[in-house]
Chain A
Amino acid sequence: EVQLVESGGGLIQPGGSLRLSCAASGFTVSNNYMSWVRQAPGKGLEWVSVIYSGGSTYYADSVKGRFTISRDNSKNTLYLQMNSLRAADTAVYYCARDLPVDYWGQGTLVTVSS
């Protein structure tokens, strides 16, 4: 059974850094496209980043230069390193498999506030 379990969210001050993790089971992360999608409270979905099986990465303009997507093949885990966080980054962050997304994690809430 495919499962995606995010962790690492929490309350962080503006300008701070946070790393989200997404532990995958039931499939191999490195063989699939893996994305992060976020949803601000009461708002719609926003695609954030993707890492392809070959390792290429792409980002939304809103996070480019501040966020880094990566994976650890030995741990079958996806990551999102988030630096220079802003209030506008406050959202539930979902880990997602493939494009279009066929499996989603449960989400982890990141709150950027002083």
Chain B
Amino acid sequence: DIQLTQSPSFLSASVGDRVTITCRASQGISSYLAWYQQKPGKAPKLLIYAASTLQSGVPSRFSGSGSGTEFTLTISSLQPEDFATYYCQQLNSYPFTFGPGTKVDIK
């Protein structure tokens, strides 16, 4: 199985900050990676797919990059509604594992 790690696990930031979250795969997954945002008590929301393609309706302050084994999610200017937990998911091979999550909290 492909394992995903995310760093950091927890991130404390202020409104307006630039935030970067890293997702690393235990083996190459080409660009078969998606990013989701989840708020407490809610279902996740798709932000990015194919590593760098912005899902329709998602603000342009979110961006993704990477291929192979290392990927990043960047929020260019953190907004109050962005405080949440972020997960990556690989879609290269079964099982379609998720990363452990990165919680972004208010500083």
Contact = CB atoms under 8 A, between A and B. Distances in A.
Nearest to A47: B96
A100 B95 contact: no
A99 B7 CA distance: 24
Nearest to A61: B95
B24 to A, nearest CB: 16
Interface stretch (B11-19, B41-49, B67-75, B76-84): B41-49
Contacts, number: 48
Contact of A106 (B36, B43, B96, B100): B43
B58 to A, nearest CB: 11
Nearest to A99: B91
Contacts of A104: 43-45
A45 B95 contact: no
A101 B84 CA distance: 18
8 contacts: A45-B36, A45-B101, A47-B98, A58-B94, A59-B95, A100-B46, A100-B89, A101-B44
Which 10 pairs, one residue from A and one from B, show the smallest C-beta to C-beta distance?
A100-B34, A104-B43, A45-B98, A47-B96, A60-B95, A100-B49, A44-B101, A58-B94, A44-B100, A102-B46
